[in-house]
Amino acid sequence: MPLLDVDHLTIDIPTEGGLLHAVNDVSFTLERGETLAIVGESGSGKSLTSLALMDLLPSKAIRRARSLRFDGIDLQAASERDKENLRGDRMAMIFQEPMTSLNPAYTIGDQLAEALRRHRKVDRKTARDRAVHLLERVGITAAASRLGQYPHQLSGGLRQRVMIAMGLMCEPDLIIADEPTTALDVTIQAQILKLLRDLQQEFGMALILVTHDLGVVARVATKVAVMYAGRLVETGPVEAVFGAPSHPYTRGLLRAIPVPGRTRPGEPLGTIPGQVPSLVGPLSGCSFRNRCDHAQDACASEIPDRTVTPGHRMACILDPVQTWAEAPALALDDRRPQ
Amino acid sequence: MTIPVLELKDVTKTYAIRQGIFRPPATLTAVGGVSLTVARGEVHALVGESGSGKSTLARMLLGLIAPTSGEIRIDGVPIAMTNRREVARRIQPVFQDPYSSLNPRKTVADLIALPLVAHRIGSAKDRQKRVAAMLDAVGLPRRMIDAYPGQMSGGQRQRVAIARALVMQPDVLICDEPTSALDVSVQAQILNLLMDLKREFGLTYFFISHNLAVVEHLADRVAVMYLGRIVEERSREALFERASHPYSKALLDCVLTPDPTLGMPDAAITGAFPNPIAPPPGCTFHPRCPRATDHCRVAAPPPVPLADGFATCHLAT
Amino acid sequence: MTSVSASGAAPLDDVPLRRSPLARMAKRALRHPGFMAGTVVLAVLLLCSLAAPLITAYDPYAQDISRRLLPPVWQAKGTWEHWLGTDKLGRDYFARLLYGGRISLLIGVATVLVSGTIGTALGVAAGFFGGRVDLVIGYIINVRLALPVVLVALAAAALVGSSLNTVIIVLGLLLWDRFAVVARSATQQIAGADFVAAARSIGCSTRLIVLSEVLPNILNPLIVIATLEMAHAILLEAALSFLGLGVQPPLPSWGLMIAEGKQFMFFSPWVITVPGVALVALVLAINLLGDGLRDVTAPENRS
C-alpha cells in the first residue's frame, strides 16, 4: 500500500463566469522515501493539487476524487478532527514565503514548540530540546539563542530553514513543499534543497515538491509529474521523463530553458506559442492541442493515458516511440557541464 | 579606441543609517567603487544575490539616484553634466515585474506613448504611428492598442514595457531581472524577443539577473557583484569556463541544469550574506570562502588583471 | 492561488481580450443593490431639484398669509392644491422643498470641490515628497483634526456674517482632513510602484508624474470620500441653518425649514418631518452610493 494514493483528483472553483476546472483527474501514488516533483507553469493547478492533499483549499473550491488515501486513511471521509491531527503531525507543509507563514507575534521557539505540543503530550523542556536539535540539524548556528528571536529578525534563508525545522518537529511521513526556494538566492536555494533531500533520506519521509523550475526537479526529485492546464500530462521516474520527454508540452518546456553547455548562447530558445486555454466551462480532449505542433482532429476527443515505459506515462495520442525519436538530445548526452 | 557607450569610474553609493538617537549614524555602502565599461552593442550582465547592490547600481545608471562619488559617462559625457531628460533619451529601463511597472489606469497606447509625451515629441498622429510600429516590433497584435494592463498576461505586459522602453530609440536598455517574474515558456519568448530587438535596433543591454543560465545564454560580458563590489568581470566564455573568484565559482556550481544524473551540487560556500553595515574586514567574502587565508582576513584584495577581465581576489591567477 | 489568477488567459489569437476594467466595474455596479438604490434616489432628487420650475408652478418665495400652515394632502384638511401643505408664511412647501434641494446639493458639491482640492493637494504632496513636506503637512492635518468643526463654523459665521457663500467656504476649509489622510496613504503606496520609477527614468517631469501616474490611481478612494463628505457637508449645513448661522431666510434650505418649523412641530409635525425625511433620503442615498462605489471599485485596485 502506497503512503499516498491520489486517484482522479478533481478540483472545481465556482467563478462569476462559470465553473473553473482547476484540476482534472490527477492521479499519482507516492511511497516513503520518494520525492515527487509536481512541475508546471502558473495556472497548471500544481499548487491547488498540493493544497487539496492538506485540505487547505479555499473554502469555495470543490474537491472530488475516486480515492484520496494517506497511509490507508480515507482523507475524504475523515472528520475535521482527524484531519487536524494529521496536519502538522504526519503531513507537514512548507510554503514559498516563510515570512507570511510564520506568525510575527511569536518567537521562533514558541512556534516550534507549539507544533510539537499540539500533537504530542510532551513537556516544555522536551519540545525545546527538540527545537534546538532540529534548528541545528537544518544548519542554523547558535540554535538555542535563536529560540527567543522573532521571524522578522531572521533573513529569508534562515526563515525558510525555520519553516523546515517546524515541519520536521513531529517527524511527519509526508512533507509538501510549495516552491520552497523560489524567493531565495541561488546559493541559499542549493543549500536548502540539499538539506531537504538529506533530511528526507535520513527520516525516510515522502516529499512532494511543487515547483516551476525544471533544474530543481531534475536534481532533487525521484518522480516527476508534469501538469498543464489542470491535467497531468506526463509522469514517471525523473530519469525517464527527462531522458525521453514524450509529451509535446514537456518537450516544449525543456526546450524553452537555456542550459549552460547545451543551448548555444544567443540562439533562439524553443517557445510554446499561444496561451493556456480558459478552464471555465465544459472541457474536452487535450487541453494542449491549441498550442501543439502535432495537434490532430483526434486530440479533441478523450485522450488515453498511455504507458511509455513501465512507470512512465503520458496523456497524448502520439505514439511514444514516435515521440522518442523526435525528442531532442537532452541532458543525457553531449556537452555536459563539468 | 572607440568610446564605450557606458562607463563607470569608481562609482560609490553610501547611505547613512540611523541606529537610534544616541548612536552616530552608520554608513551602508550599497555600491562601493564600481568601475565598468560597456561597449556599444554588447550585452553586459551583472549577477549577484539580493543585497549585492545590483539594483542600486541600476538606479544610478537610470539617473534615479545620484552616486555619492565617482562618475558615470554615457558616450564619454558624464551623467552629472547631462540633464535627466537627456539621460532618459539614451538609457531606458525594463523592470522585473510587469504587473507593477505598468500604470494600471492607462491603455497600451498611452503607456507606450508616455516617453514621447514627456519629451514632447511628434504630433498625436505621429505618436500613434510610432506606437503601432512598436507593437509590431515587440510582437503584440495591434488590436491590443486600447487594452489595459489588467486585460493582458504577464508576457504581454512585459512586451508593452519593452515597447515603452524602445519608443525613444535609446542606446542602452537596463534590464533588471526582466524575466524572473514570468513563466518558463514566456521567459523564452521574452529572451528571444530581446535578442531579436538587439540585432534590429543595435541596442546595448545592461542585463541584471540572478539566473546564470539566462546570463550564459545572452551575455557577452559578465560582472559578478558581491556586497556592493565587482568581484569578477570577464567575458562570458572566460567566466563560465574558468571563473577565478571563489564566489563566481560558487554561483556557477549552484546553477541547476535539468540533468537528473547530476544530483545536488555540494554547496561550496556556507553561511549567509554578511551585514552590509558592518562588512567583514579584508576581503569581504572571506567568511564564506572555502579558500580564505589569513592574508584574506586582513587585506582587501586589489583587482587582479586576467586575460579577458579581472578578479578581485588574492588567489586569482 | 496561481491556478485561479492565470486561468482567465485565453489563446492569443482566437479569443478576444478580457473585458475592460470599466466594463467589469459596470457589471459589478449593476449587481450591487445599495449602489443602485443610492444612485436611483440621488438621481431622482437631483432631477427634481434641477427641474423644479417644471415640476411646480409655485414660487417658493411667494407668501399668502391667508393660507398659512395648510396641512398636506393625506391629512384631514389637506388639498391637492398644496399637496405638501404650506409654511407659516403660506409658501408652498413642495416648491420650497424642491428649491431647497438645490441649496443642499449646491452646498454638498461646492464644499467637496473646495475641501477635495485642498485635501488632495496636501495629501498627495505629503505622500509623494515625504520627508519634511510630510512632516509639515502632517502637523497641519493634526491641527485641523483638533478643531471642532461645528464650533469653528459657528464662530466664523458669527464673525463674517452668515450666508450661502460663507457656509460653503467655511465648510470647504474645514472638511478636507479625510481627503488629505486618504490621499497621503494612497500616494505613498503608488509612489513606490515600479511604474512611477519607470516614468521618472523615462524623463517625465514631477508634474506629469503626479498628474498622469499618481492621481488616476488614487481617484477611487477619493471619490468615495467625496460622497461621504458631501453627505457630511449637507448635514452640517442643515445644522448650521437650524442654529440660525447658516443659510439665511428667505432662501429655502432644508435645515432652515426645520428650524422655522420647530415652533409648530407639536401641532403640525409635518412641517419638520417633510424636510427631515428629504434630508435623510438625500444623505442616505449619497452614503449608499459612496459605500457602493467602494465595493464596486475596490477589486480593480487589488488586481
What CATH number has the domain bearing residue C154?
Answer: 1.10.3720.10
Q: State yes or no: pLDDT of B7 exceeds 90.
A: yes
Nearest to A257 among B236, B251, B258 (CB): B258
User: For residue range C73-83, what is the model confidence (pLDDT) as tens digits?
Assistant: 777 777 777 77
Give the residue from C2, C15, C27, C31 with the most A CB atoms within 10 Å of its CB, the best one to mutate.
C2
- The whole-angstrom distance between A35's CA and the closest CA on chain B is 13
Chain A residues with CB inside 8 Å of C5's CB? 42-43
- Neighbouring C-beta atoms of residue B177, cutoff 10 Å: 20
A271 touches chain B (CB under 8 A): yes
User: For residue range A155-198, what is the model confidence (pLDDT) as tens digits?
Assistant: 777 888 888 888 888 889 999 999 888 777 888 788 888 888 88
Determine which helix (DSSP H) or strand (DSSP E) holds A116, and give its type and residue range.
helix A108-117
pLDDT score of A321: 54
Q: Is residue B263 part of a domain?
A: yes
> Average pLDDT in the B212-229 region?
93
B62 touches chain C (CB under 8 A): yes
The domain boundary residue, chosen from A155, A171, A187? A171
C66 touches chain A (CB under 8 A): no
Which has more pLDDT, C211 or A121? C211
The domain boundary residue, chosen from A138, A171, A204? A171
pLDDT score of A98: 66
Domain that holds residue A294: 234-326
- Domain tally, chain B: 1
Q: Is residue A335 part of a domain?
A: no
Is residue B39 within 8 Å of residue B219, measured between CB atoms?
Answer: no
Task: Please give the full DSSP string across C64-83, using - where no structure is assigned.
Answer: -GGGTTPPPTTSTT--STTT
pLDDT score of B272: 67
Nearest to B257 among A221, A243, A337 (CB): A337
Which of A32-36, B67-71, C71-75 comes out lowest in average pLDDT?
A: C71-75
- Neighbouring C-beta atoms of residue A319, cutoff 10 Å: 12
- Domain tally, chain A: 2
**Nearest-5° angle of CA C167, CA C283, CA C220?**
90
Q: Is residue C248 part of a domain?
A: yes
Confidence of residue B1 (pLDDT cuts 50, 70, 90): low
Q: Is residue C36 part of a domain?
A: no
Q: Residue B84's Cα: distance from chain center in Å?
A: 19
For residue A268, give the chain B residue with the closest CA: B192
- Neighbouring C-beta atoms of residue A338, cutoff 10 Å: 6
Q: Give percent above pLDDT 70 in chain C.
A: 91
Q: Is residue C153 part of a domain?
A: yes
pLDDT score of B267: 66
Cα distances (angstroms) measured from residue C26 to each of C32, C114, C224, C295, C297:
10, 28, 16, 12, 9
Q: Is residue B276 part of a domain?
A: yes
The domain boundary residue, chosen from A171, A198, A216? A171
Which of A270-284, A320-334, C122-136 comes out lowest in average pLDDT?
A: A320-334
pLDDT score of C302: 41
Cα distances (angstroms) measured from residue A306 to each of A235, A309, A321:
10, 9, 12
pLDDT score of A169: 86
Domain that holds residue B315: 248-317
Q: Is residue A56 part of a domain?
A: no
C-alpha cell of residue B89: 533619451
- The whole-angstrom distance between A62's CA and the closest CA on chain B is 26
pLDDT score of A123: 86
Q: Provide CB contacts within 8 A for C94, sequence distance 6+.
A: C56, C58, C82, C83, C84
| Cβ within 8 Å, pair B97-C194 | yes
Subunits with at least 3 CB pairs below 8 A relative to chain C? A, B
Integer Cα distance of B71 and B7 in angstroms: 8
User: For residue range B97-129, what is the model confidence (pLDDT) as tens digits?
Assistant: 888 899 988 999 999 999 999 888 888 899 999
For residue C27, give the chain A residue with the closest CA: A16
For residue A191, give the chain B residue with the closest CA: B267
Regarding whether A244 and A321 lie in a shared domain, the answer is yes
Q: Is residue C30 part of a domain?
A: no
Report whether the peptide linkage leading into residue C250 is cis, meaning its omega lies within 30 degrees of zero.
Answer: yes
Q: Is residue B192 part of a domain?
A: no
Which of A201-210, B148-157, B307-316, C49-58 comes out lowest in average pLDDT?
A: C49-58
Rounded mean pLDDT of chain A?
Answer: 85
> Average pLDDT in the A33-45 region?
91
Is residue C300 within 8 Å of residue C20, measured between CB atoms?
Answer: no
- Domain tally, chain C: 1
Confidence of residue B83 (pLDDT cuts 50, 70, 90): confident
> Average pLDDT in the B271-279 region?
76
User: For residue range B166-202, what is the model confidence (pLDDT) as tens digits?
Assistant: 998 899 999 998 988 888 888 999 999 999 999 999 9
Confidence of residue A332 (pLDDT cuts 50, 70, 90): very low
| Cβ within 8 Å, pair B91-C201 | yes
DSSP assignment letter at C31: T
Subunits with at least 3 CB pairs below 8 A relative to chain A? B, C
In the beta sheet, which residues pair with residue B122?
none
Q: Residue B113's Cα: distance from chain center in Å?
A: 24
Domain that holds residue C252: 44-56+67-302
Q: Is residue B231 part of a domain?
A: no
Q: Is residue A167 part of a domain?
A: yes
> Average pLDDT in the C48-63 region?
81
Rounded mean pLDDT of chain B?
Answer: 88
A138-149 exposure pattern, b = at least 16 Cβ within 10 A, e = fewer: bbbeebeebbee
ipTM for the predicted complex: 0.85
C5 touches chain B (CB under 8 A): no
Integer Cα distance of B306 and C73 in angstroms: 102
Q: Is residue A207 part of a domain?
A: no
